[in-house]
Amino acid sequence: VEAALGKPLLDEDQVPTFYFPIKEVNGKLTRVGVASFVTQRGPHGDLMLAVAVNTKAAVTKALILKHQEAKGLAGEAFLKQFIGKTYQDAFTVGQDVTPLPGEEEASQAVATGIRKYLLITRAAFAKK
């Protein structure tokens, strides 16, 4: 994960806690994905993100729970662009991420945090 990100993981990322949403399918409870929290450094402080993925490891929901950046960064209009992305996407502002106007650095921090979560999840659950 650190090699793919090009930087060390934060202490809080070293031992993640995963949550497994379940859904009743044909009378049987089935895992439909995995969710967790991830912390990412932003230009004005830490961002606390919640990210959920489906069983294909594609983002189904991304939320910013805590931040000190511009208000629109936590808005659905910005965050919906991450739905469907996987660890294989670039997560790069100007390439496959449209930044919040004037908030390119903070937008990249969000993208990096979501990608970090995807890489951690892949490392934890990918079949060897």
pTM of the shown model: 0.92
pLDDT at 109 (0 to 100)? 96
- φ/ψ of 39, rounded to 5, equals -105, 135
The DSSP symbol for 112 reads H
- What pLDDT, in 10s, does the model give residues 59-74? 999 999 999 999 899 9
Contacts of 78 (CB under 8 A, 6+ apart): 72, 100, 107, 110
| Residue 7 pLDDT grade (very low, low, confident, very high; cuts 50, 70, 90) | confident
pLDDT at 128 (0 to 100)? 60
pLDDT at 126 over 90: no
